[in-house]
Amino acid sequence: MSENGNRAVAYLKPGAVEVRTIDHPTLELQDGPGVAAENVGRKCRHGVILKVLASNICGSDQHMVRGRTTAPEGLVLGHEITGEVLERGPDVEFIEVGDIVSVPFNIACGRCRNCKERKTGICLNVNPARPGAAYGYVDMGGWVGGQAQYAMVPYADFNLLRFPDRDQAREKLLDLTMLSDIFPTGFHGAVTAGAGVGSTVYVAGAGPVGLAAAASAQLLGAAVVIVGDLNAERLAQARSFGCETVDVSEGPVEDQIAQILGEPEVDAAVDAVGFEARAHGPDAEEAPATVLNSLMGITRAGGALGIPGLYVTDDPGGIDQDARTGTLKVRLGLGWAKSHRLSTGQCPVMRYHRGLMQAILHERVHIAKAVNATVIGLEDAPRGYAEFDQGASHKYVLDPHGTLAGVRPV
């Protein structure tokens, strides 16, 4: 490892991040911003140290950077990590130094009841505050984020997805880096919404997760995938790989769907927006339940809503007191009357990532192209965050060591 420090992206204050030098990771969780007191000093003999080859900026990170969570100053960001193993702990049996691996954003012990039931998004042993943990995220145990040159991953044998061929992994790294979060998360949204062969699917939100959900619905065999948003550039990106689109500022969504399908309903709907949703219209105020209520209106009776969009328990910037505690005015009566199924929560990445890796390696999907993956240097992270916040239709991939120089989506 470099002797010049470990450069990493840290949350500074609402609207600002900075790249700073932090300590090199060790196989022990140290005290720091956001680290749960009970986790300080936690020894990770089962962990590895990674050289980070790619780490992506996520919309979930953007919620923190906007000041919409209780993230502390100095929190090192980044839960989408792909890397090369530099060091392994004495209890690691199957992961080898030199392996190139994808890191699920869920941190999971592999030992608790939930992990054994493949519910790795709500592991019971990695976060003293609540079920579930993630790297570089507020209230998720304080595990240091991976928007850095080097990172530590605990429970390596269980958590890591090893790519079978190093050369192939490097060649397809821009696609494979999406396996840590947004591709499985979008796929989870499509699966839980009931997307399948011949189905009609509506995806609310044309950000990276929404685009990943749309590509996933296509992979699952959907007949028509419709993506709705206010952002013309992002809607154009959805059309670039065969989706129909709806500009939600141009009239009722159900009317626009009827123009496409001949009926105002779809079989399956995905909420890829989350709690910062706005009422329809370019100057509309926030209305955090508006997407959920809209989707219940346009989903057929007996259909389902997949909800990978983030909802939080604490939102300091919420529009009212209810919104600040994650209490939303959802038309549950409508969903009940239509017998809808609603699926929420963190995606259990390990349920999907191996199969999606195979789809990438065998050219069944081109996820980096679908989400417009765009490589920038680690030091350019503040610019990436600012442009993403302004609605740029890019999935920014940080390249801490120049591994992705010259790589483009294919």
pLDDT in tens, 338-349: 999 999 999 999
Question: What domains are defined for the chain?
Answer: 6-181+348-399 (3.90.180.10), 183-343 (3.40.50.720)
List the Cα angle 17/20/25 in 5-degree steps. Answer: 115
List the Cα angle 239/368/351 in 5-degree steps. Answer: 105
Give the phi and the psi of residue 366 in degrees, each rounded to 5.
Answer: -125, 75
233 pLDDT above the threshold of 70 = yes
Tokens of residue 331, six digits = 């038309």
Higher per-residue pLDDT: 94 or 320: 94
CA nearest to 80, candidates 185, 10, 167: 185
pLDDT at 214: 98
Residue 373: Cβ-neighbour burial (10 angstroms; 0-12, 13-18, 19+) = buried
Q: How confident is the model at residue 314 (pLDDT cuts 50, 70, 90)?
A: confident
188 pLDDT above the threshold of 70 = yes
b (16+ CB within 10 A) / e for 387-407: bbeeebbbbbbbbbbebbeeb
128 pLDDT above the threshold of 90 = yes
Distance, in Å, from the CA atom of 264 to the CA atom of 299, rounded to the nearest integer, reads 9
22 in Cβ contact with 64 (< 8 Å): no
List the Cα angle 215/369/209 in 5-degree steps. Answer: 45
Distance, in Å, from the CA atom of 319 to the CA atom of 65, rounded to the nearest integer, reads 18
120 in Cβ contact with 114 (< 8 Å): yes
1 pLDDT above the threshold of 60 = no
199 in Cβ contact with 222 (< 8 Å): yes
Q: How confident is the model at residue 93 (pLDDT cuts 50, 70, 90)?
A: very high
List the Cα angle 403/351/98 in 5-degree steps. Answer: 30
Beta bridge partners of 150: 51
What is the rounded average pLDDT of the residues 104-129? 97
What is the rounded average pLDDT of the residues 363-375? 97
Q: How confident is the model at residue 282 (pLDDT cuts 50, 70, 90)?
A: low
77 in Cβ contact with 55 (< 8 Å): no
pLDDT at 165: 96
